[in-house]
Structure 1
C-alpha cells in the first residue's frame, strides 16, 4: 500500500466517522407556540377571539329571582329564570357576519291541580288544588343570523317596544323573520321586516317597518305593522328625552285598525288572566317620568290609558305604576315595582294592584 492510498483511505474513514456522529446527535424539538385567548375589541367589551379563528365571541347572560303578587293572591308566587347568550361576529367583504343565540329557562311555583294533600294540623280544603311542586320550561328564546344590515331567524317582533316602566304595554311577541336595516348618518335608521306568526297557515307574511332617530337628548321611534292573516294594521310611536342628567321623560301612543297580532295588550298584560290571549285596544296614550338620584338609585312613575280594549266599544282601562331600581354592586341589580290596573264597562269597574320584587345578576 503506497502513501497515496493510505491517505485516501484515512480521509474516507474520517468522513464516515463524522457522518455517523452527526446522525447519532440528539436534537431537541422546538417548543410549539402557545395560543392564548386574545381580546377582541372591535365589537365592544366582553368579546374574545375563538382560538384558531378570526371570529369574535361574547358569552353573557343573567340569573333572576323574582317574587310576584297581586291583590287577589292567597300566598307567594315566585320564579327563577336564567338566560345564556352567545354572540359570534367577524368581518367579511359584505359586512359583519353575526350569529346570536339566547337560551332561556324559567321555573316557578306551580298549581298542579286537585291533588289531595294531607298534613297534620292543616286545613285540607285550603290545600286542595294547591299541591306543592314546581313547573317550568327550557327553550330557545332567540336564534338569528346577520350579514351587514340583513338578519333572519327567530326573536321578538320588530314591533316589540314600550316604556321603561313595568305598567305599560306596547305589543309584540316572538316571530320568525327576515329584515334589513339601513343605518344612516346622524342617528337615523330604518328597518323593514317580513314576519311570520302563523304555522303552516298561508304564504302571506306580516310586514313591519320602523324609523328611528337617536341623539344625545334622547330618541324618537315610529312603527307600522300589517297583519296579513287578520288583514288589520297597527301603528306606534315612542319618544324619550333626557331633560337633565337626572330627569328623563318617555311617551307612547298606539292605534290599531282592528284585532290583530300586534295588539297593544294581551289578557295577561292587563290582569285579565294567566294566558297571553291577544286583546288589543283601539288606541292608547301613556307617559313616564324618571329620576336618577345617583349612579346606583333611580325611580320612575307613569300611566297608560287604553280605549276600546279588545276593540269592544265602551271597554276602557288604565294601568299605572312606579318602580325603584337599585344597583347593589356592579352586575347585581334589584327592582321593586307596584302597579295599579283598572277597567270600566257599562258602569261596572274592575281594579286591582300588582307588583314584584326582583333580584338579577347580569354577566
Structure 2
C-alpha cells in the first residue's frame, strides 16, 4: 500500500465517523413561549387578565381586628367588651360581551368566634345594569355616616334588580325573596339625583306578605371642609325590612380634620312601634395610617329607658 492509498483511506474513514456523530447529535428544543399575566385597566385598578381569556379578575379582601365595649345601665348588657377578628376575601371578574359588561362578585367571610366558620357573605352576577344573586340591597345604604343610626332590620336577600345610571341621575327597581319558608317577597325602589353640591336620594320598600312598607329620604351636600347629611325614615308597620323603628330622623357632618383624619359627629332621634323613643349621638373618627391600613374608633351615647355608652376601636387592613 503506497502513501496515496493510505491517505485516501484515512480521509474516507474520518468522513464516515463524522457523519455518524452528526446523526447522533442532541439538538436542544426551544422553550415554549411564556404567557405573562397582563394588566387589565378596562374596569379600574387591580384587575388582570386570566391567561388565555379576555376575562379580567380581581382579588381583594380585608382583615379587621376590633375591640368593642358597652357600658349600660341595663343589667342584661352591663359592662360587656370583647376582641374580635374578621376576615373577608373578595373575588371579582368582568368581561365585555355583545350584551354588555358581564360581572361576578364573591365575598367569603369568617370571624374569630368560629360560630359559623367561613360563610358565603355575598355572591351575585351582573349583566349591564341587571344584578341577581345573594347580596346587600339598596336598603343597606339607608342612614347617615356614623354608628348610631338605626332603621333597617334586614337588607341582605336573594334578589334581582335593575339599575339605570346617567351622569347625575340613578333609578332602580328590585325584587327580594324575604323568606323562603312562607314565600314572602318584597319590592324595593331607589332614585337619586345630584344637583350641584347636593345629592338627594329616595328609597322605598314593600313587604307583600306583611302588607307593610317604608319610605326614606336623604340629602347630602358639601358644606365647608366636609359633607352634611340629613335623613328621615318612616315605616307603616312591622315588616321583614323594618321590625322595630316606626320613624327616625338623623343628621351627621363628616369633615376632613387633616389629610389623614376624618371626624364625623352624628345624632339621631328614634320612635319605635312600641311607643318607646330614644336619642342617640356619637363621634366616629377614621385615621389613615398608611395605604391600605386604617384605624377607626367611635364613642356613642344612647339616652332612653337606659343610658348606654358603646364604642369600638378597629384596625383594618384592606387590599
Deviation (angstroms), 1:242 = 1.4
Distance in 2 between the 1:257 and 1:79 partners?
A: 37
Give the match for residue 258 of structure 2. Answer: 294
Distance in 2 between the 1:136 and 1:206 partners?
A: 27
Per-residue deviation, residues 54-91 of structure 1 (Å, max 9, x unmatched): 11011111100111111134453111100000010000
Deviation (angstroms), 1:336 = 1.3
Distance in 2 between the 1:197 and 1:22 partners?
A: 79
The answer to which structure has the higher strand fraction is 2
Give the match for residue 10 of structure 2. Answer: none
Deviation (angstroms), 1:323 = 1.1
Distance in 1 between the 2:296 and 2:26 partners?
A: 68
Cα RMSD of the aligned pairs, angstroms, is 2.1
Q: Tell me: CA distance 1:261–1:228, structure 2 relative to 1, closer, same or farther (3 Å).
A: same
Deviation (angstroms), 1:325 = 1.2
TM-score by length of 2: 0.86
Per-residue deviation, residues 176-225 of structure 1 (Å, max 9, x unmatched): 101111122x22111110001201312x5210010122467242211110
1:222 equivalenced with 2:202 (yes/no): yes
1:200 equivalenced with 2:164 (yes/no): no
SS of match in other structure, 2:139: coil
Distance in 1 between the 2:117 and 2:220 partners?
A: 35
| Larger RCO (CA under 8 A, 6+ residues apart) | 2
1:49 equivalenced with 2:49 (yes/no): yes
Matches of residues 247-258 of structure 1 in structure 2 within 5 Å?
247-258=226-237
Matches of residues 167-182 of structure 1 in structure 2 within 5 Å?
167-171=148-152, 172-182=154-164
Distance in 2 between the 1:216 and 1:328 partners?
A: 32
Distance in 1 between the 2:262 and 2:106 partners?
A: 31
Aligned mate of 2:240, from 241, 256, 261: 261
Residue pair 1:107, 1:136 contacting (<8 A) in 2 also: no
Distance in 2 between the 1:79 and 1:22 partners?
A: 72
Aligned mate of 2:136, from 148, 156, 159: 156
Q: Tell me: CA distance 1:174–1:232, structure 2 relative to 1, closer, same or farther (3 Å).
A: same
Give the match for residue 116 of structure 1. Answer: none
Residue pair 2:71, 2:80 contacting (<8 A) in 1 also: no
SS of match in other structure, 1:76: strand
Aligned mate of 1:315, from 270, 276, 280: 276
Give the match for residue 17 of structure 1. Answer: none
Give the match for residue 288 of structure 2. Answer: 327
Residue pair 2:233, 2:248 contacting (<8 A) in 1 also: yes
Distance in 2 between the 1:100 and 1:141 partners?
A: 11
SS of match in other structure, 2:144: coil
Residue pair 2:136, 2:156 contacting (<8 A) in 1 also: yes
Q: Tell me: CA distance 1:182–1:337, structure 2 relative to 1, closer, same or farther (3 Å).
A: same
Distance in 2 between the 1:233 and 1:254 partners?
A: 11
Farther off after superposition, 294-303 or 167-176: 167-176
Per-residue deviation, residues 336-356 of structure 1 (Å, max 9, x unmatched): 10001122xxxxx32211111
Matches of residues 129-144 of structure 1 in structure 2 within 5 Å?
135=115, 137-144=117-124
Where in structure 1 are there 5+ consecutive unaligned residues?
Answer: 1-19, 109-133, 264-277, 344-348
Residue pair 2:194, 2:200 contacting (<8 A) in 1 also: yes
Give the match for residue 120 of structure 1. Answer: none
Distance in 1 between the 2:42 and 2:151 partners?
A: 33
Deviation (angstroms), 1:170 = 4.1
